[in-house]
Amino acid sequence: MISAGRLAWLQLRREKVRLLVAVAGVAFAVVLMLMQLGFQDALFNSSVNVHRHVDGDVFLLNPHYNILALPKFFPRRRLYQALAFDGVASVTPLYTMIVRWQNPATGATRDMFAVGIDPVSDVLDGLPEVAAQRAKIREPDVVLFDELSRPEYGPVAATFRSSGPLATEVNQHGITVGGLFRLGTSFGVDGSIVTSDLNLLRMIPARPQGAVSIGVVRVRSGVDPRRVRAALEAALPRDVVVLTKQEYIDREIDYWSRSTPIGYVFTFGVAMGLVVGTIIVYQILFADVADHLPEYATLKAIGYSNRYLAGVVVMEATILAVVGYIPGLAVCAWLYRLTRSATMLPMMITLGRGIQILILTAAMCWMSALIAMRKLRSADPADVF
C-alpha cells in the first residue's frame, strides 16, 4: 500500500504550474505574517531600548506617564524620600525631553530625544560608549550623539570621525558634539543625544529644575526589588508611581499595544495573512481533489478508507506549508535587511519567531485541507463503474 505522504507528493508534482501557484501563495502569506510580526516586535523592542540600558531595579514615574518620548515630571524631593528607605542603595534622577535639533549640514531642524544624566553616576552603564565618555559631558554644552539616528539629522557621525567635534544648535542653543554612542531608533524616537543634567537644563531654560522625568532606584545586594517597590508605593505620595524594571518595560509595551492603533494594525495584518493564505491553499486543494475525484473513488472501491483519503489531503497541505515556508522565509530575511537599513529599526528573524510562523503556516494549510475534505464525500465508487 502506498503511503499517504508519497501519494500526496505525486499528486502535487503532477500539476507543476498549480504547485508553483500554491507555493507562491503560501510564501506570500509567510512574508505578510513575518513582516507584520517583525514590525510589531521592532516597535516593542525599540520602544524599551532606553529602559533596558538604564542600570536600575525600581523606577519612580509620574502617574500620567505613557511613553518615554512624551515625558512627564514629578518633584525631585521624592528621590530624597526614597533614599531613606531600607534596602535602597542609590537614587538617581534621569531627565528626558524632546528638543529641536539643527542639522549642521543643512540648517534644517527636527525633533530629537534628549537624555540628561548626572555625569558622576553610572545610570547609563548599559551603554558602554556613554559610560566611557561621561567626563566629556561634564563640559558645558557638550553632547554625545547616537550614530544610529536617522540620516535626516545630518552626517554627524561621519563628520565627527573625520574631523572631530562639531558644532550645531539645540533649541537655538549652541552645543558641541563631543562623542558618539549607539542606541537606535524607535517608532517614537528618530534620534537621540545624551548630555549632563545641567547641559540639558541650559538647553531648556523654561523647564523647572526640580522636575524629574524618571527616578532610578538601585537596591542593595541581596534585597528583593519587589519588596522595596511595595514599601515605596505604600509610603510615597500619589504624585509618583513605583515600578520594578520589568513592570516599567511592560507598561511601555502595553501602551503601544493597547492604547495606540499600531498594535492592532500589526495584529490585523497577521490575521489577514492567515486568511489570504487559507483561501489560496483551499482553492488549490479543492481543485486537486476535484480533478482526482475518480481516482479517490477507485481507491474507496478497492478498500481504502475515508481516513486514508483524508490523510492524503492533509499531507498535501503539510507539503505545501513546508515548501512554501522556505522561500517565504528567505524573501523575508532580505526584506528585513532592507527595512533595517532604511529605518534603523531592530528587524531580525529570531528562532522563536521563525517557529511561530511555521506553526501558523501549517495551521493555515491544515485548515484549508479540512475545508477541502468536504469534496471527498462526493467520491462515490458507484460513479466509477
Quote the pTM value.
Answer: 0.77
Q: Which residues partner with 60 through β-bridges?
A: 215, 242
Structure confidence by residue, pLDDT tens digits, 362-374: 988 888 888 877 7
In the predicted structure, residue 198 carries a pLDDT above the cut 80: yes
The percent of residues in the chain predicted with pLDDT above 90, rounded, is 45
Structure confidence by residue, pLDDT tens digits, 136-176: 999 999 999 999 998 999 999 999 999 999 999 999 999 99
Q: Where are the domains of the chain?
A: 4-46+261-383, 63-239
Q: 173-181 and 214-219 as β-strands: parallel, antiparallel, unpaired? A: unpaired
Q: What are phi and psi of 74, to 5 degrees?
A: -145, 165
Helix residue spans in the chain (DSSP H): 4-14, 16-47, 49-53, 77-83, 128-132, 156-163, 197-203, 225-235, 245-258, 261-291, 293-301, 306-343, 351-372
Q: What are phi and psi of 192, to 5 degrees?
A: -140, 150
- Rounded-to-integer distance, Cα 133 and Cα 136, Å: 5
Q: Name which residue leads in pLDDT, 109 or 298.
A: 109
Neighbours of 78 (CB within 10 A): 20
Q: Give every CB contact of residue 150 below 8 A, 6+ residues apart in sequence.
A: 185, 190, 191, 344
Structure confidence by residue, pLDDT tens digits, 283-342: 877 777 777 677 767 776 776 676 777 788 888 888 888 999 999 999 999 999 998 887
In the predicted structure, residue 384 carries a pLDDT above the cut 80: no
In the predicted structure, residue 378 carries a pLDDT above the cut 90: no
Question: Taking all residues of the chain, what is their mean pLDDT, rounded to a whole number?
Answer: 86
Q: What is the pLDDT of residue 304?
A: 65
Q: What is the pLDDT of residue 25?
A: 85
Strand, helix or coil at 303?
A: coil
- Rounded-to-integer distance, Cα 277 and Cα 272, Å: 8
Q: What is the pLDDT of residue 87?
A: 92
Q: What is the pLDDT of residue 235?
A: 93
Q: What is the pLDDT of residue 263?
A: 73
Single out the residue of 41, 9, 22, 68 nearest to residue 332, CA to CA: 41
Strand, helix or coil at 339?
A: helix
Q: Which residues partner with 241 through β-bridges?
A: 61
Q: What is the pLDDT of residue 163?
A: 92
Structure confidence by residue, pLDDT tens digits, 2-58: 677 787 787 778 778 888 888 888 898 899 888 888 888 888 888 888 898 899 999
Radius of gyration of the chain (CA): 29
In the predicted structure, residue 65 carries a pLDDT above the cut 80: yes
User: Cα 60–63–64 angle (5° rounding)?
Assistant: 125
Half-sphere exposure of 181 (CA within 13 A, CB side): 27
Q: What is the pLDDT of residue 67?
A: 85
In the predicted structure, residue 103 carries a pLDDT above the cut 90: yes
Structure confidence by residue, pLDDT tens digits, 235-253: 999 999 999 999 999 998 8
Q: Which range among 203-207, 227-231, 307-311 shows the weakest confidence by mean pLDDT?
A: 307-311
Q: What is the pLDDT of residue 373?
A: 75
